[in-house]
Each structure stands twice: as structure tokens, then as C-alpha cells.
Structure 1
């Protein structure tokens, strides 16, 4: 029956992408999410079994690879410092501040480690629905590059941090800051190294054949092969797929045949990406009845609000600390980057992983996390365009 379900989800996704002409005001992922919530009350769809492996091992490598491959190298070079700081130091401070805030607001109903775990799941951003909007409406082109680049890299670093905190939460192990930081950098750098190596290798091999079908096949091998190789060696598969995509894009940019390669590689991946996104966001909605508890809606709103406040504080600290970035990013830009930090597929994958690894211990956290993800998609997504236009007018 799962084949029929997937087919119907793809059909619904096609209809939504085709019909939704006002994607600026009603981004497709938000529409798909709401449709998915409706489908969750239909037995045919509510019986779908969604697992961490399904999202993490099948869908994410392709999405991460294509977002990295399509990310403009020029934008990465210009903003590499900001993206790196936000995805490492900024990520760690966000988790610590948000986790601490959640712990105090919970009035000790949650443990401190449990609060940190919620924060680590809600820290990854998924701006797939808003990056194109930002590129069209913001008068600062760096905003879209920073939002997209930060999301691309912190998907990997957030998983590393989540894994460390989840292990402490599930096993009741003691927390050692030094050991945690060493593990964080070992897993992150290991994933980057494997991805860069595989991306470089494929960029050399891809020139040995002029058949476009085989070159596309090789890009699929790179997307998934780098991910699985890194996971096999105990390092970040997510960062491996991301760095592999960036390396391939950069190396192809050094050849005179760049346009030929990109034309058909883009044509393939631009079909795959919306197909996967349609299924993923519909699945997030379908999981509504399994993970959301209406009785916790008040606390969910508080956590959602705290996530925005903490993100703004961390971003302001990073951008205003360095004189160069202070001039490049105004307060309106910081506010827009804050609001564009929407939760999505990575947060859901981590939530499902936590639910699978420790159902009993995860139970008190799941509804809070899932509800915050839903609020982020439903509230933040449709307001990105009007906020962007408003700030652009104010800065002109």
C-alpha cells in the first residue's frame, strides 16, 4: 500500500506546486504541511509508517547535495566567515541560551539536558520556502546567501551537537565540556574531509565520460556515497554531502564546459528536489496526530517565541561584534534573517530519531518539539515576503 500512498503524495505535490501561483504569500511547503495535517485524519494516509531512516538516509542526502551544489560559489566566498561562525559558535550559543531559557520557563518540569535537547532539535533551519523570496524582495543580496548558507552548514553541525546531547539524555551520562567539544569538531571535520575528497574525485572522473546520463548517475553516487561513507566512519554524513556538492560545483566552475555540465545536472536535480520536498512536507503534516498534544499548546507557543528571541540575540551578537559585518548588516537585515530561520525537515528527522532511540524518555518532549516546528512553518513562512518588502522600503 505504501507505493499507492507515495504516488498520491507526489500527485498532490504536483498539483500544489502547479496551482500555487502566489508562493510569496503562501509558500508551497506551508500549503503542503496544512494539506498533510488534513490527510492525517484519513486512515489511508495516517497508517503510513514514517521513520528516521526513511527521511535521514533516503531523502536528506539528495536535498543536502543539491542545495550545496546549487549554492552560488561567489556568495559562499563572500560570506564564508559569517556562515562559519553562525554554524559553529553561533549554533552552540543558540542551543545553550535556548535550552537554558526553556528550562527556566518550564519551572523544572523538564530537566536541563532535556531542555538542551529540545533546543538542539529546533536549532537547524530549513529556509527552502523563503530563499527565493528573499532573493527577489530584499535589497541586501547577502541576506539570502547567509540564510541559505547557514542552513546548509548547520544541518550538519546541529546533528553532531544533537547526537552528543541525546546520548547524555538517554543514558544519563555525565557531561564533560572538553570531551563534547572534541567530539563535535572531530565528527564535523571528518565529514567535511570525506565530502571534499569525494567531490574532488568525482570532479576528475566526470570528465572521463561525455555521456550525460552517466554523469548524472555519478552525481547520484556522489550525493549518497559521500553520506554513507562518512556515516560508516562515524563522522557527519550531512556535512559530507554538503561539502561534496560544494566541491563538485567549484571544480566544475573551473572548466570551460561548465555550462554544458550544469545544464543537464541542474535539469535532473531540479526535478528531484521538489518531488522530495512535496513528500517530506506532506509527511510532516501527516505525523500531526501522532506527535501533537493540544494540551501543551501554551508551552509550545512560549518555546516558539523563545526560539525567535534567542536567534535574534545570537545573530545580533555575531553581526555587531565585528566592525565589517556591522556595516554590511543593518538591524532590519538581522531581523529578517531571524524570521527566515524556519524549522523543517532536519528538525523532523532528529525528532523521529529521538522517538526511535528512546520512546519512553522522548515522550515528554515530542509534542513540544513537533508543535514548535509546525508553528514555525505556519507563522513564519507567509510573513517573510511582507517583512522583506517592508524592510527594503525602510532602507531605501
Structure 2
């Protein structure tokens, strides 16, 4: 199938899923599309069982298997989605809560990676499965960050306080970049057969994170100067589009963090650019354009998440292991939130209610699945991919659907 035909098929399936959700399920868009696409996948699996020779079922399964999920999410969709999210975050409010956000996005990710990684390692050991520690830590790294796409899509309809929303959104925008860098560092260690060079890892982390932030700020400032000298909304929309693509392209060349670069550029354009370099007409058109990009890519991403069940079904998989991993991931998230918040606010952080809500807001998404697909070929890859998939589905569907009642119950 050609790339054009593939995009056409995915767009039609996304429209079909979105239409069914709007007419009948009436759920938040991401959750509804995920559920409909999972249902489509289950129907295809049943069709393969009852009509093994039916070509449509086999063809759709083959198409999903041929989609490079990692490439589609990490190198095509992620930059545009992060920029669209960062564009509407108020920088002043974010800076007021910067200590908490940075603590959750850095210390929290490291703690969660360690806690979840060791927990999975010991769980597999109790079950008699010899999972190497590095593989367990890789799973901890890819499942620890909150996904900005899932969080932003769900949190809009919850109605929490501005302070809480700022911390959750700010964390989700920054911690995926940190987690990707940590994942890549662990992956380098795995390829080096477990050789651990602290200085090498630290240099790698600093280069990725600081390089990404500096790159995004520099290119964002350049775009700001261009926007300030013109008043042509069509050209200004193109400038923001080129900015995102340039951030990711240069970041890949110099081994900087593309996600952090895009977030930094989006925050600069969305705040200083909006106030000082754009006319009201330009602001309206840029907001409309990026809202449409966000909706389109969100729909395709959640569709792909649901359809990945066609790949997971080929794996010998234990539902009990999946449930235990979900419990361990939630437990790791709670402990990492509690500890990282206690570091920045040792008195106020002793709120079980607040830490519990932040834990439940830790939605996972396509980034985790994409990182799982990037694991090297190994018998444990499909096992960890299955655990990742069911953690993501649980997060998007169960946590996403119950976020509003949980917020009301905990009085947020």
C-alpha cells in the first residue's frame, strides 16, 4: 500500500471512529476513538477466527504490522502535538510553579524509572522469569512519563484549579523529553552490554536536555523576530510550521532533545510572540490552525493505539502479569510524586489527597508504545511491549474516564 493510500485509510478510520463516538458514545475524543478502534481490532481478530480466508481481516492486520509506530509517533507526530500544547500554556503561571514542575519532570521520572524497573525485575523473578535488570529499567523509563497528548486531551474537560492544571500540563510537556533521554541512555548501556560510565551518561543527559532547550529557545526567538516584522497571517502560520520541523531536524543532527526544543519554542511563541509580535487576526488564525493540527494528529494517534491490538494478539501474554504491572506502575508513580514533591515542598507535599490525584492524572500514551517498539529485537521485547500496551490502554480508558469523578471526590 502506498503512503498516500495508508494515510487515507487511517484518516477515514479516524473519522469513522470519531463519528461513532460523537453520535453514540459521547466520550472525550481520545478515549472514544481508542475504544472504537480497539473494537474494530477485536472484530478483525474474530473475523480471522471464524472466516480464516477472509482477505479484508488479513489485509488490515498486515497494514497495521507494517506501520512503523515508533517513526510515526516520535519523528512525525510528537513535535507538532507538543508545539500545539505548549502554544496555549501561560508562561508566567508555569514559572510560578516551576519548582514543582521541574521536580516532577526530572526527579520524579528518575525515581519512577528506578522504582518501577526494580519492581518489575523482582516480579519477574518471583514468577521464575529471568528478566535482565537493564530491560526492567528500560520498561520503567518508557512507562514513567505522563503523555502530554493524553493529558491535554483529557484534562480540558475535568475542570480542576488553575494551579493544579498548570503543574500537570507543565510536567507532561517536559517529562517526556527527560524520559526519552533517560531511555536512550539506558539503551546505550544495553548495547554496551551493561557497561556503566557515569560521566558518559551525565554528558549525554546534559547534551540532550540543555541542547534541546537552547536550540528551541534560539529558533523560537528567531521566529519571534520574523513574526514581529510582518503582518501576514498566512506567512506567519507557515513560520510556526517551519519552526517545529526545523527544531526536530536540527535536534536529530546534533543529538539534542527534539521534544524539549519544540516545547521551548512553543512556550516562547505562545506567550511573547502572541503578545508582542502578532496582530489579533494572526493570533486567531494561528490558534485555529494548530487546534486543527492537534485534533487531526490526536485522532490518528489514538486510532493507532487501538489498532495495535492486532499486533499484541500474536504475543503469548498473561492477563495476570498485565494487571500486576499496572498496579506496580501506579504504585511507582505515587511514590515518585510523593518523594519529588516532598523535596520541593516538604510541608505542603505531605498531602495524600494531592499526591493521589497527581498519580491518577499520570496518563500514558503513544510515546510509551513508540519507545517499546524501539527496543532491540529480543524475546523480552514483545513481553514488555504487551505490558506497555495494556498499561497505556488502562491509563487512557480507565484513568481518563474516571478523572473527573476522582477530581470531584478529592475536591480538586
State the TM-score, normalizing by the size of structure 2.
Answer: 0.87
1:257-276 alignment runs, 5 A limit: 257=278, 259-276=280-297
Deviates more, 1:103-112 or 1:127-136: 127-136
Deviates more, 1:310-319 or 1:213-222: 310-319
Query: Are 1:230 and 2:251 an aligned pair?
Result: yes
Please name the residue that 1:366 is paired with: 385
What is the DSSP-based 3-state SS (H/G/I as helix, E as strand, rest coil) of the residue aligned with 2:81? helix
Deviates more, 1:327-336 or 1:212-221: 327-336
C-alpha displacement of 1:343? 0.7
- Say whether the 8 Å CA contact 2:17–2:37 is kept in structure 1: no
Closer/same/farther in 2, CA of residues 190 and 119 from structure 1, 3 Å limit: same
Closer/same/farther in 2, CA of residues 20 and 237 from structure 1, 3 Å limit: farther
Please name the residue that 1:384 is paired with: 403
C-alpha displacement of 1:296? 1.8
Please name the residue that 2:172 is paired with: 151
- Say whether the 8 Å CA contact 2:87–2:269 is kept in structure 1: yes
What is the DSSP-based 3-state SS (H/G/I as helix, E as strand, rest coil) of the residue aligned with 1:88? helix
What is the DSSP-based 3-state SS (H/G/I as helix, E as strand, rest coil) of the residue aligned with 2:362? coil
CA distance in 2, matches of 1:137, 1:37: 24
- Give 2:335's match in structure 1, choosing from 310, 313, 330: 313
- Say whether the 8 Å CA contact 2:189–2:196 is kept in structure 1: yes
Closer/same/farther in 2, CA of residues 329 and 232 from structure 1, 3 Å limit: farther
- Give 2:67's match in structure 1, choosing from 50, 53, 56: 50
C-alpha displacement of 1:322? 3.6
State the Cα RMSD in Å.
Answer: 2.3
Query: Are 1:84 and 2:105 an aligned pair?
Result: no
Please name the residue that 1:163 is paired with: 184
Query: Are 1:7 and 2:11 an aligned pair?
Result: yes
C-alpha displacement of 1:362? 2.2
Please name the residue that 1:295 is paired with: 317
What is the DSSP-based 3-state SS (H/G/I as helix, E as strand, rest coil) of the residue aligned with 1:106? helix
Count of matched residue positions in the alignment of Structure 1 and Structure 2: 387
C-alpha displacement of 1:270? 0.6
Which ranges of structure 1 fall in alignment gaps of 5 or more residues? none
C-alpha displacement of 1:347? 0.8
Please name the residue that 1:70 is paired with: 88
Please name the residue that 2:111 is paired with: 93
- Say whether the 8 Å CA contact 2:121–2:136 is kept in structure 1: yes
Please name the residue that 1:375 is paired with: 394
CA distance in 2, matches of 1:306, 1:229: 37
CA distance in 2, matches of 1:319, 1:235: 28
Please name the residue that 2:23 is paired with: 19
CA distance in 1, matches of 2:156, 2:76: 29
Deviates more, 1:222-231 or 1:255-264: 255-264
Deviates more, 1:139-148 or 1:90-99: 139-148
- Give 2:240's match in structure 1, choosing from 198, 210, 219: 219
Please name the residue that 1:124 is paired with: 145
CA offsets 1:238-274 (integer angstroms, 9 cap, x no match): 1111111112123224417464432111000111111
CA distance in 2, matches of 1:316, 1:10: 38
Please name the residue that 1:246 is paired with: 267
C-alpha displacement of 1:72? 1.8
CA distance in 2, matches of 1:321, 1:252: 34
CA offsets 1:313-359 (integer angstroms, 9 cap, x no match): 11112223344x743884322211100101102112212222xx435
C-alpha displacement of 1:289? 2.2
Query: Are 1:184 and 2:205 an aligned pair?
Result: yes
Closer/same/farther in 2, CA of residues 145 and 75 from structure 1, 3 Å limit: same
Please name the residue that 2:33 is paired with: 32
Closer/same/farther in 2, CA of residues 257 and 8 from structure 1, 3 Å limit: closer
State the TM-score, normalizing by the size of structure 1.
Answer: 0.90
